[in-house]
Structure formats: C-alpha cells, structure tokens
Chain A
Amino acid sequence: MWSKVYDWLDERLGLEDLYKGLLDRPEPHGNWWNTLGSASLFIFIMQGATGIFLTVYYTPSPDHAYDSIQYIMNGVAFGWLIRGIHHWGASLMVLVVFIHLLRVFYTASYKYPRELTWIIGSFLFLLTLGMGFTGYLLPWNQRAYWATTVGTSIAGTVPFIGPFIERALRGGTDISALTLSRFFSAHIWMLPALLTALIGGHLYLIMRHGESQFPELDD
C-alpha cells in the first residue's frame, strides 16, 4: 500500500532523483565548525516564524507600538516566549553569522571556485546587520529611539550624500511615525525578501561546488 503511494508520488515528483541530487551526495570529512552555516539558516527561519507571529499583534505606529508590545508580553498566551525568542535570536544570529564568516575566512574557503559564494555571503552578513538595526527601533522604547537617533545621525556624517541618507532613513529631519513605518516595512518585507533570495543563491552555489574541505598541509 505505502510502496504504491510512494511509487505514484515518485513517478510525478521524482523523489528518487531529489534524494540522489540533494541528500545522497559525497562530502569531505566534516567538522563541527561546518554546522555554523546551517545554524544561521535555522535562526533565520526561527526569526521568520516568530516574526510572523509578532506581526499579528504588533502595530507600527508611535501611538500603539509600545502598548502592542506590552500586550504581546503580558496579554497574549506565550507572547513572552515568541518575543523572547525573537529578541535573543536577533543577537544570536548576528553572532553566529559573524563566526561563520570567520570560519570561512580562516579555512580560506572563499578561494577558487567559491568566490561568488563568499560575495553573496558577505551581503548576507550586511543584511543581517540591517535586520538588527531596523528591528531595534520597532519596540518604540527609550533604548530603541535613542539608538536609532544615534545610528541615523552617524549616516548623516558621510560627505556630500550624508544628509540625504539621514533624511531618507528617518523620512524627515527627526525620528517620527514615518521612520517607524519605514523601518517596519524594511524589517518585515524588503530585507527578508533580499535575504531569502540571496540565501537561495548561497545554497545553490554550495550544492554546485560542494562543501569545502579543511585545508591540509599541501593546500
């Protein structure tokens, strides 16, 4: 019975080919440091899942943002857990992605033929920092407000185009309702869309070239 179902699905989906192409691949002898990439992906998925739940109650307006987070923390069943995971996951993601970057650097895995994997990876790192920066403002508390004030004013010191960047980030001269809706939109739509696309490219390249082996003395 089950083998018939499997055969039917296999004929249409090509499960056997998927297994051979994706899973049953040879790899160089592994190392625990090699798990950091998949760990980054896992935290990204966790952040996505908890983030989607948070948007159910979160309201990106200065009048309601703070109160909606208070409600998530105190009123919603397990809201504190979802927000806690999202809060700590943000810090952990920056940390894990950075250590992953260092691992790739120290094992020189960015060299031929994996240059493009590194370039995409470095954009993924910068986007992760961007996610942290935009997400930090959303709770609309003192810490968030002043961190964003400082962060956007640093962008304003760039010669010539600085004042323009600062105004574009803030949506005006000061941190306001526009800044909050801009950061919210970037945090839940623009940056995650870019991240997802680049993660896809990153994974394709890893499958194309295989996981790099740890360098030996003659490498």
Chain B
Amino acid sequence: MNEEYKKKVHKKYEKSLRKGERFWPDSIYKDLLVSFAIFLLLVGLATFIGVKPEPKVDPNDAAYVPRPEWYFLFLFQFLKYFPGSLEWVGAALIPGVAVLSLILLPFLDKNPYRHYSKRKVAITVMSLIVVGIVALTGVAVATTPPQEEVAVAGSISEQIVQGQDLYSVYCVECHGAEGEGGIIQGVEGLEGVELKPISSQDEMYTRNDGSLFDIISYGQPNLGMPPFGTSFGGELPPGDIDALVAFMRYTWDDRAELPPEAAQASAIPALGPDEVPSYEVHIQAISKRYCVSCHRTGKKNNNYLMGTYEDIVSSGDNAPVVVAGDANSILLQVIQRHAVTDANGNEIGVMPPTKELKPEYVDMFVRWVMAGMPETADDAAALATTATAAPEAEATPTP
C-alpha cells in the first residue's frame, strides 16, 4: 500500500464529506428511528408470541431430540457431512479457517478497489457462503423430526391440577385419593401392607418440597415404594414430580392456600336434583380421580379399564360391567359395597377396595347408569328433558 494510494483514498473521502450530511441531526435521526422500530418489534414479539414453555431438564430422557440455537443449526447440519474420524474437519478445521479468514479479511483481500463491479471474486465467494448457510439452516429445519409436545404447567394452578391428575394415576392405588393410606388391597406385591397417611399435618410440616421430591423420585425401596423418577428408572420426569409435590403441598398442608382456580379446575361438578349426569362432565371426573389408578393397562383389574367412555361401558372379563337402566349392574353393586360373584364363581370385591366413595359420587354413578349412560353433556340434557316432559305428553290427550 503506497502513500499515493492512501492520499487518493483520503481525498475521495473529503469530497464525499463535502456533499454529505451532518452526523447530528441527519444520521442520528435515522438511527433513532430504526432503534425505535426494533424496540416496538421486541415488545410486540414478547407480548404476542412470548416465550414457548419448555419442560425442565431431564438428563435421562433419551427420546429428546437435541438441537442447538437456530443460528448454529447450519453448523450442526454441516457436521453431518463429516462422519466418524473426519468429524474434526467439519467441527474444528473448516470453522477455524473460516473464523480466521473473517478476522484477517482486510489483509487477505488485497484488491484496492471498493466498487462492486471491481470485486467480483470477493462478492461471489461471500454470497456463496451466505447462500450455503441459509440452505444448510433450511435443510436442518426440514430434516429434524418434530419434538414431542409436552404439557408444561405455566401457573401454579396449572401445576397443581397436573399434579392431581398424576397423583390419581400413580399414587391413589396405594396411598388413597386423599393420601389417607390404610391397608393396601389389589396391588401386586404389596397386598396387605399397611401405610400411614401421607397427608397428615406431621408429614406436611416435617417434609419440605425437596424431600417430598426425593421420596417420589427415589421411592422407599425398603418399605416397598418403587422409584418414580426417570433418574432411578421410573416413569416421571422431574417436571411431573414437581407438579405432584405442588399438588400435595397446596392440597394437604394447612399453611398453604389452594388457589381458587386450581380448586375450581379439579372440583368434581355437583349435580342438581333433576339433572342427568354425563360421562364427559361427571363420571370422567370421578373415575379419573378414584378409579383409573388401578383400572388402567398393566394392573390387576380383571381387564376392566376406566380411561375412556368405551372402556367403561364395554371392557373387562365380566363385560358388560354396566348395563343401561340395570340397577344390578356389577359396577353399581360393588361401589355400593355389595361383593358379587362372577360367572366362574370368583368373588368381585367391593370398590374402591380401601375407602368407599362419597355417597354423592355413588349416587352420580347410579343415576348415570339408570338414565342410559349418556356420553356427552348434550346427550344428558336431552335425556333430562324427555324424562320430565314425557308425563305431560301423556297427560294431554286424555281430557
């Protein structure tokens, strides 16, 4: 670079300054305008799109598809073309050379000209790199399989409701719907074991959230409680165990106040005197809380499942367990504490085995079966109106 060239550059710059503008206010005005637009954009993104909730870290979740930030995706994709022992070429050599050339660009590019028409090589190379990065990012987005959607509780109320649902599935069969414990019945390997209540004031005051989490995660193998956390071979990721702990704390600890939304969301709807219960609104809520812990696949339950409407109506070794309009249906007998005998002479015990259902829930089941087991709230409403309208219809033609 000779002095003459430098002088020429400075002279040209002087010339462009003479026909230019002032930094204040001309340039600053544009800068402020763009910055303000960016501010509005960020507030808009934060308000209308927000941040997608993600589940808590679970190092044992082998099914999770790892992916880097979107601006590293191209590198992630690039690496796939360098398998095995060549990996370091894609991971270290090429990116290393690229970064070095980026930093040292002013010394690598000896071309003295600045106009586009005189820099064809540099512009072509850079454009190809940019197109490559965009293309690799596109390929990466298109080829990575979609992540499995996981429900993430946002508010504490959502967490409590999620915890209650999990409790009903994983805990109720031994600990009971209210954590009351008692003698375990119908659970393989733990038949007859007596459990102390886990919802007592003593338990809640002496165990903090951390130790509740650890007990659920690790179990208490010497006492027969299996581990539930994925870290110890169980089924529940850390976020689920957090939800269980939140449910236990807010429901049983008299120092905590259950948020009204959570109480409302998990309450079993009450039934009016002339109302017909439906599966959708009433029966599902009861069976979810008190029955599915045992009446799901993989448990000892005579193959009677209660997870869906179809299963309740038609599954099981003794199917049909419920018959529309039949007050002697097996289900209605056992929940009213009458043990019955099946076709092979085996006794079907009372249900739930430990603590009986509240009378209003038994009543809901009875009225549901007697009314014809409507699935949806609309069906139930239709049955309710025909039931009350029928006597009037008969009454009118006989004056």
* A→B interface (CB under 8 Å): 19, 22-30, 32, 34-36, 38-39, 42-43, 46, 62-63, 66-67, 70, 73-74, 80-81, 83-85, 87-89, 91-92, 94-96, 98, 102, 105-108, 110-115, 118-119, 122-123, 125-126, 129, 132-133, 136, 139-147, 149-151, 154-155, 157-159, 162, 174-175, 210-213, 215-219
CA distance A32 to B64 in the complex (A): 43
| A91-B57 in contact (CB<8A) | no
- Determine which of A26, A111, A174 lies in contact with B109 in the assembled complex, contact meaning CB atoms within 8 Å: A111
- Given A30-B30, A157-B87, A142–B17 Cβ distance below 8 Å? no
CA distance A140 to B154 in the complex (A): 15
Residues of B within 8 A of A146 (CB): 64-67
| A110-B115 in contact (CB<8A) | no
* B→A interface (CB under 8 Å): 1, 5-6, 9, 12-13, 16-24, 26-28, 30-31, 33-35, 38-39, 41-43, 45-47, 49-51, 53-59, 61, 64-72, 75-76, 79, 87-88, 91-92, 99, 102-107, 109, 112-117, 119, 122-123, 126, 130, 154-156, 210, 242
B24 to A, closest residue via Cβ: A23
| B87-A26 in contact (CB<8A) | no
- Given A102-B126, A132-B71, A151-B72, A141–B55 Cβ distance below 8 Å? yes
CA distance A130 to B54 in the complex (A): 22
B35 to A, closest residue via Cβ: A42
- Determine which of B6, B76, B106, B116 lies in contact with A119 in the assembled complex, contact meaning CB atoms within 8 Å: B106
A151 to B, closest residue via Cβ: B68
Distance (whole angstroms) from the CB of B295 to the closest CB of chain A: 32
| B54-A218 in contact (CB<8A) | no
| B38-A88 in contact (CB<8A) | no
| B91-A154 in contact (CB<8A) | yes
- The list of the 4 closest CB pairs from A to B, nearest first, reads A84-B46, A146-B66, A115-B106, A141-B54
A29 to B, closest residue via Cβ: B20
A sample of 4 more A-B contacts (CB under 8 A), given A83-B51, A112-B6, is A35-B34, A66-B56, A129-B72, A139-B54
CA distance A39 to B391 in the complex (A): 78
Distance (whole angstroms) from the CB of A135 to the closest CB of chain B: 9
B45 to A, closest residue via Cβ: A88
| B66-A24 in contact (CB<8A) | no
| B91-A74 in contact (CB<8A) | no
- Given A119-B103, A132-B69, A140–B113 Cβ distance below 8 Å? no
Residues of A within 8 A of B61 (CB): 142
| A28-B106 in contact (CB<8A) | no
| B38-A215 in contact (CB<8A) | no
